[in-house]
Amino acid sequence: MLLTLTNTASPATDLGYLLHKHPDKVQRFSLTFGEAHVFFPEATEDRCTACLLVDVDPVGLVRGKNDKASGLLDQYVNDRPYAASSFLSVALREVFSTALSGRCTGKPELADQPLPLIARLPVVPARGGEAMVRALFEPLGYAVTLSGKVLNPRFPEWGESTYVDLTLSATVTVSQLLSHLYVLLPVLDNHWVVQLGSLGGGNHFIEICLDESNRVWIMLHSGSRGIGNAIGSYFIDVARKDMTRHFINLPDRDLAYFPEGTDHFEDYVEAVHWAQEYAAANRDAMLDLILVAMRQAFPSFTVTDEVVNCHHNYVAMENHFHENVWVTRKGAIRARDGDLGIIPGSMGAKSYIVRGKGNKDSFCSCAHGAGRKMSRTQAEKQFNEADLATQTEGVICRKDKGVVDEIPGAYKDIDTVMANQSDLVEVVHTLKQVVCVKG
């Protein structure tokens, strides 16, 4: 895969200082998934272009990996070697780390200087369409030029592919351009832009349940479909670099933070809220699709109650003990007085609809679910498909080795969890799964 960066402000060769790469040299960098090469095909006073060529080793990616691919050839025949993706983001971080952090050792005054820059990516996945690509970059001030790519020039009747040739132009700092690419390229990767309304893997699920009165409940659990993870990884990296830049020595690098009121703090909060809104929209889209399917299978099916919708793993500004504070709930949901919440057990166990009691000492929070008592790896070693079939008896669900890590025995006892938080919530309904769909 290829990325070119061009500076047209004289002296254009300042681009070499900003990237910490010499225009007269070809440099090679080892990556966990292949190699990266940096070279300058042109370097004059009026125009300077740097190329980042990433050579992905598709065989190396598969070697020694647990085979869970949908098909044998999927692992080897794919767009990884040529399409701009999260691999290119990793390469940007590894090869241009100093430039990405906004530092320029040779000419420090250049770091914060906006320049007329042009970035070109010859092959970019656009599964969400050209409009999606424009929606990502144009609000940031880029002039976006796109050209489609036919599937095969020899057979034009096959039509256009899902890839585009992308050129971005703007007067920005090198750090800003690299940061935008670093964050947004993974968004276009891995089908994320067309995953709205999809479930995901791991502990995500769709369940059809019955309550104590044999009423039917639809319960689903999903998230921001990888975009939240990409946002988190990016800002963790930025925070660590900020600590280094400001000479803040921490006992552990994972304690890196953004001081409230700084630009990076505001950017992070905005990004987190966007991911939370996306996750909510994703759940709404899935619920609509499920209701359509239910009505097709059961024409007399009607919706009788409103949706219970709650976030977990999120941050919000709230007032506690007469102070406005940032509350991070990890594996927890909000449980203010009267708040309705969902506390799922494992597949095969009970789940609960609860009402919050507004316990101030817990910052009006309660546990999100049963929680794991062992890792996925440990569960796969300790249990097998027969154990899974036994522990999910009576539930229509997958019972193959691909979901053994989600076996009920890998989770804490949900009844114990509920008993331990009786001062935080009251049980409104007890649900038992009939159907469980895992991603």
Residue of 311, 312, 368, 429 marked active site: 368
Contacts of 79 (CB under 8 A, 6+ apart): 85, 123, 125, 163
Per the structure block, which two tokens stand in for 206? 């769709």
Annotated catalytic, 368?
yes
Contact 52, 77 (CB under 8 A): no
Rounded CA-CA distance 304/402 in Å is 35
Per the structure block, which two tokens stand in for 34? 């292949």
Q: Which residues of 345-365 are buried (b: 16+ CB within 10 A; e: fewer)?
A: bbbbbbbbbbbbbebeebbbb
The residue type at 405 = D
Give which of 128, 110, 98, 93 is closest to 48, Cα–Cα. Answer: 110
State residue 100 phi and psi, 5-degree precision.
Answer: -60, -35
* Matching residue, tokens 């994972």: 254
Paired strand residues for 99: none
Per the structure block, which two tokens stand in for 38? 């940096």
Contacts of 218 (CB under 8 A, 6+ apart): 206, 207, 208, 209, 287, 290, 291, 294
Q: Annotated catalytic sites, by residue?
A: 368
